[in-house]
Chain A
Amino acid sequence: MNTFCKWVQSALVVASLLWPVVGSAQAATVNLYTTREPGLIQPLLDEFTRQEGIAVQTVFLSAGMLERVQAEGARSPADLLMTVDSGNLLDLVSAGLTQPVSSPILNAAIPSHLRDPAGHWFVLSLRDRVLYAEKSLTIKDFRYSDLADPAWRGKVCIRPGQHPYNISLIAAMIAHRGEAETEAWLRGVKANLARKPAGGDRDVARDILAGICDLGLANAYYVGQMRNAPEGDPQREWAQAIQVVRPQFSNGGTHVNISGAAVAKHAPNRANAVKLLEYLLSDGAQSAYAKVNFEYPVKAGVELHPVVASMGPLSADPLPLAQIVAQRKAASLLVDKVGFDQ
């Protein structure tokens, strides 16, 4: 049997030689696994390569980054793990796939509640979940809870409740108001829906223009994307049809999700990963980052994109991310329970 195993092993080794193999760690590389679309940060990565002489190799993953890194284990080529959802980021940490980083540059750039005290994760930008409303409506001091107000019966559009963006908001609602109140709220929102929860955030603006609904929740940066779409793109019209209002919880904060990053536990190029992380939090990169994708920079005092600036300063919900993330599962079960997406 042992000889048989050896034989199989050598056969496989020979077979593996016939296939291209992923390049292993080289001196001037950093490997980036990201659920953030790399096109958005490509100009920044190119600039980083120019400044530091470190090449950045990326693979853009959707769901499943955690499972892949976990399976790759010590063999994983991943150096930096970047996500666009707080839940995904903290899941990586609790699965033990990250390592602590202690960097005075990072600590100075990021407010303390937006990074892990132990240095396992760092927030790079904020993504506030806001209200798109038909532009002729007069809306002042909108609360998330107002979305369940019967005054809006048949006027609300939203993407599926199970989408991470909505789950994150519902989880925050549970963290603030408890499960029972959130359930009543969710039923109220469902009763107000103008159509089935479907599509994406931009469809809210599009359907408002089409007269299907008057309001809906969506992430703020899409407004920037739509308003800056190429000439002749219908998205420009969608964006013209809406006004953007930042709703609040009763504590006065607006719900934000994040994009963030962590250094992989088995990073073959750890030093380069930290360099890239520090570069992404430099003033220039933060400003560029915020301007390219219209998100809110995590570093204070950085120049905003005019579209983002026009929405006024963001007062983010101060509730710690971990508390919101802890309610994600309850939020998802609640969405099923009230049949929100059915």
Chain B
Amino acid sequence: MTARTPLPWRAGAALTPRSATVWTWGALLVAALMVLPLLSLAWTAATGSAELWAHLFAHVLLPATQSTLLLLGGVGLLACLIGTACAWLIATYNFPARGLLQWALLLPLAVPTYIIAYAYLDLLHPLGPFQSGLRWALGYDSPRQFRLPDFRHLGTCILLLSLVLYPYVYLSVRAMLVTQAASLIEAARSLGSGSLDVFFRVILPLLRPALAVGVALVLLECLNDIGASEFLGVKTLTVTIYNTWVTRSDLPGAAQIALAVLTVVFLVLSLEAFGRRQRRYAAGQRAQAPSRIDLRGWRAGLACLCCVLPIVFGFVLPLLYLLTVSARRWRAEGLSPQLLESAANTLILGLTVTALTVLLGLVVTYALRLGQLRRRPLLAQIAQRVGSLGYALPGTVLAIALLVPMAAMDEFVGRTWLLGGLAGLVLACSLRFLTIASGNLDAGFARVPQNLDQAARSLGAGPGGTLMRIHLPLLRPALAAAAMLILIDTMKELPASLLLRPLGFETLATWLYADASRGSYEEGALAALMIVLIGIPGIVILAKLGLRSAVRSGGVSP
């Protein structure tokens, strides 16, 4: 027998092995919730035949995969460009209206993809204001004499989706820049590096985790979009899944394609995380927001313009469009009390889903953190990866896949609770958006040095105490960002709400959809406007909260 003195942090970890295990079990339980719909999907897929695939390979897969990849590549690149450039400008320079712009850049988040697509379809149509103005200026009086080429194609789709999705990148990159990169920026500057040099040689490599989180959300949202693609005639794989199910009544076939896409997404995400596994991104040293350089003259103007343009095109123009159309509808029909009721429902649903999702995300990511500290992260890693799959499925497919597990649960409990109940809808949305919580919190945890945990443990704090007293205060920016994104996303959410909501329960999105399917999207303009407006206070409050605490918590030195 050898008497060994354990290292202090080992001792700290060993003090509470059981409580650490509880977190891992919690994370596995959350993952199990996500596994249920996947199993049900796999079961559905297995009941089908493979004959569909010959047809798919012959006629569908090549063009659909091609347009999907082009769409993802285009939107990923453009959203990255806009998001990173704006975050960099905001974080490192002073220019006019910077304070306003830094949160206004988040506003396009409030505009759902299907709404921006419809708005621009109207604005850019030969009968719309832009081309009418152009004809007036050129002296033509009919679109039959002069009109621009049709804009319903992939390029427009890429541009429009990027305009409303770039805030995901902006948000995660900005958080990284203000909390962590500061000291490195200062160091590089003091060594005489120019701004661009600092950006490309120091910042860009550091931004990888932040970019990964932001871009993953952008790409998954884009992958699962149906509304914008339908308006703009883009045939993606998701459209193929939808067609297989709806027009051929071939749910097993649709489940097969959905699982195939899901597998690819899972592999890509895992590869990215694997490539990043050996790198450390935690700020070991004092971290605080970088001192900003004052810009003057045309440079200030240019910086300002760069940040204003995405807001104008991604938010202001669609909003003006919705306001104009809504005013027309308002005069014609007034505001129905059911619309206000659906607004209240939307808010309640949004807040409940946000609370539950952030909680589940915290369980999953903290289990991972504890796993990393004990150098046994495998189970928690699996739990986190599996728990994040909800966002990688089209919303409708996830909702369909949840029907059977929910019905089984209701049977087990002996009453109608989940399926056709509010609880089921909340659960479905939470599973769908869990990856937003876990992605943001994981990036947040990555910025907290592990020696903080070890110090807390050596002072006798258990995992729970460490979480409450060390992590939660430091995670406030990440929590705020996650909560905001989930809130906004839930309020825009359509497919799960549409399929799973209880009798007589409408959200703004289902109301809009109902109006739109009765008549045209203009008839849903009031509901669309309310979806956008109701998101704004959330964005403002949480952006400010996240920003302020980001700066404050940045001052912590271990």
Binding site for B on A (CB under 8 A): 9, 12-13, 16, 19-24, 31, 37-40, 57-64, 67-68, 70-73, 75-77, 87, 91, 160, 162-164, 167, 194-200, 202, 206, 209-212, 225, 229-235, 237, 328-329, 331-333, 336-337, 339, 341-342
Contact A199 B504, beta carbon cutoff 8 Å: no
CB of B416 within 8 Å of the partner chain = yes
The answer on a CB contact under 8 Å between A235 and B59 is no
Determine how close the nearest CB of chain B comes to the CB of A121; give it in whole angstroms. 16
B419 adjacent to chain A (CB < 8 Å): yes
Q: Is the CB of B498 within 8 A of A211?
A: no
Decide if B519 touches A225 in the complex (CB within 8 Å).
yes
Contact, CB under 8 Å: A212 / B249:
no
Tell me how many residue pairs across A and B have CB atoms closer than 8 Å: 188
Q: Which of A37, A164, A328, A341 meets B233, CB within 8 Å?
A: A341
In-complex Cβ contact of A337 among B59, B152, B251, B404 (8 A):
B59
Which residue of chain A is the closest to B420 with respect to CB atoms? A22
Contact A72 B245 (CB under 8 A): no
A31 CA / B420 CA spacing, docked (Å): 12
Instruction: Identify the B interface with A (CB < 8 A).
Output: 55, 58-60, 63, 121, 125-127, 142-144, 147, 150, 152-153, 230-233, 235, 239, 242-243, 245-251, 328-329, 331-333, 396, 399-400, 403-404, 406-407, 409-417, 419-423, 498-505, 510, 513-515, 517-520, 522
Distance (whole angstroms) from the CB of B204 to the closest CB of chain A: 37
CA distance A19 to B55 in the complex (A): 46
In the complex, which of the residues B231, B396, B500, B514 contacts A37, with contact meaning CB atoms closer than 8 Å? B514
- With A12-B413, A21-B416, A37-B517 known as contacts, the answer to whether A57 contacts B504 (CB < 8 A) is yes
- B232, A22: Cβ atoms closer than 8 Å: no
Find out whether the CB atom of B515 lies under 8 angstroms from the CB atom of A77.
no
Return chain A residues, CB-CB under 8 Å to B417: 16, 19, 21
With A16-B415, A71-B419, A206-B125 as given contacts, are A198 and B143 in contact (CB-CB < 8 Å)? no
Chain A residues whose C-beta falls within 8 Å of the C-beta of B233 in the assembled complex: 160, 195-199, 341
B247 A167 Cβ-Cβ under 8 A: yes
A62 to B498, CA, bound (A): 7
In the docked arrangement, what's the CA distance between A59 and B18, Å?
A: 47
Question: In whole angstroms, how far apart are the Cα atoms of A143 and B151 in the complex?
Answer: 31
A-B contact pairs, 20 of them (CB 8 A): A12-B409, A21-B415, A21-B417, A37-B518, A62-B499, A64-B399, A64-B400, A68-B420, A71-B419, A75-B407, A77-B503, A160-B230, A164-B246, A210-B126, A212-B143, A233-B328, A234-B127, A235-B520, A235-B522, A339-B63
Q: How far is B500's CA from A88's CA once the two chains are assembled, in angstroms?
A: 18
- State whether B246 touches A63 (Cβ < 8 A): yes
Interchain nearest-CB distance for B28 vs A (Å): 15
Contacts of A67 in B (CB 8 A): 251, 400, 403, 499
Asked whether B126 lies within 8 Å of A332 as measured between CB atoms, the reply is no
CA distance A255 to B470 in the complex (A): 69
A21 with B421, Cβ < 8 A, contacts A198-B230, A230-B328, A328-B247 known? yes
Q: Are B422 and A19 in contact (CB under 8 A)?
A: yes
Query: Would you give the shortest CB distance from B169 to chain A, in whole angstroms?
Result: 28
Q: Tell me how far the C-beta of A329 lies from the nearest C-beta in chain B, rounded to whole angstroms.
A: 5
- B333, A31: Cβ atoms closer than 8 Å: no
Q: Which residue of B lies closest to A70 (CB)?
A: B403
The binding surface of chain B is classed by DSSP as helix
The winner among A40, A70, A200, A337 for most chain B CB atoms within 10 A is: A200
Would B247 and A19 count as touching, CB distance under 8 A? no
B125 near A210 (CB under 8 angstroms)?
A: yes
Decide if B329 touches A206 in the complex (CB within 8 Å). no
Is B499 within 8 A of A13, CB to CB?
no
B413 contacts A13, CB within 8 Å? yes
Select which of B126, B331, B406, B414 is within 8 A of A13 by beta carbon.
B414
A234 CA to B122 CA, complexed, in Å: 11
* Structural contact, A24 and B126, CB atoms closer than 8 A: no
A333 contacts B503, CB within 8 Å?
no
A58: contacting residue among B331, B499, B504, CB under 8 A: B504
Closest to A59 in B: B503
Complex interface: chain A residues within 8 A of B500 (CB): 68
In the complex, A20 Cα to B514 Cα: how many Å?
24
Choose among B243, B250, B400, B403 the residue with the greatest number of A CB atoms under 10 Å from its CB: B243
Known: A68-B403, A195-B150, A230-B332. A341 touches B235 (CB 8 A): yes
**Cα–Cα distance between A328 and B244 once the two chains are bound (Å):** 11
B248 touches A328 (CB 8 A): yes
Q: Which residues of A have CB within 8 Å of B415?
A: 13, 16, 21
Contact A9 B412 (CB under 8 A): yes
Chain A residues in 8 Å Cβ range of B248: 328-329, 332-333
User: In whole Å, how far is B61's beta carbon from the nearest beta carbon of chain A?
Assistant: 10
Do A206 and B127 touch across chains, with their CB atoms under 8 A apart? yes
Select which of B152, B246, B411, B423 is within 8 A of A16 by beta carbon: B423
Q: Name the residue of chain A whose CB is nearest to the CB of B522.
A: A233
Closest A-B pairs by Cβ, 9 of them: A198-B233, A230-B332, A211-B144, A196-B233, A71-B403, A210-B126, A37-B518, A16-B417, A19-B423
The answer to whether A209 and B127 touch across the interface, beta carbons within 8 angstroms, is: yes
Contact B407 A212 (CB under 8 A): no
A76 to B410, CA, bound (A): 11
